Amino acid sequence: MRQARQWTVISLITVGVMIGGCTTATTNIDVNNDKGDAVMGLDYRDFHAAAQEMVQSLLASGSVSKPGGGRYVLVVSRITNDTMQHIDTDQLVKKIRVGLLKSGKVVVTTAVGVGGAEDNMAMQTREDLRGNEEFNQATVAGKGNMVAPDLSLSGKILQRNISVDSSTQRVEYYFQMTLSDINTGLAFWEDEKVLGKRGSNKSVAW
* Residue 156 beta carbon to other proteins: minimum distance, rounded to whole angstroms: 21
Closest to 64 (Cα-Cα) out of 189, 190, 191: 189
Q: Are strands 168-181 and 187-200 parallel, antiparallel or unpaired?
A: antiparallel
Binding mask 74-103 for other proteins (x = CB under 8 A): ---------------------x--xx--xx
Binding mask 6-45 for other proteins (x = CB under 8 A): --------------------------xx-x----------
Q: Residue 158 pairs with which residues in a beta bridge?
A: 82, 174
* Residue 123 beta carbon to other proteins: minimum distance, rounded to whole angstroms: 31
The size of the interface with other proteins (CB under 8 A), counted in residues, is: 20
Closest to 43 (Cα-Cα) out of 25, 34, 80: 34
Cα–Cα separations (whole angstroms), residue 128 to 32, 92, 132, 142 = 44, 34, 7, 13
- Of 96 and 112, the one with the shorter C-beta distance to other proteins is 96
Q: Are strands 106-108 and 151-163 parallel, antiparallel or unpaired?
A: unpaired
Sheet holding 72-82, edge to edge: 106-108, 72-82, 151-163, 168-181, 187-200
* Residue 129 beta carbon to other proteins: minimum distance, rounded to whole angstroms: 36
Using the rule CB under 8 A, which residue among 55, 87, 157, 171 binds other proteins?
Answer: 55
Are 82 and 157 in contact by the 8 Å Cβ rule? The answer is yes
- Of 49 and 141, the one with the shorter C-beta distance to other proteins is 49
Query: What is the binding site for other proteins (CB under 8 A)?
Result: 32-33, 35, 48-49, 51-52, 55-56, 59-60, 62, 65, 95, 98-99, 102-105
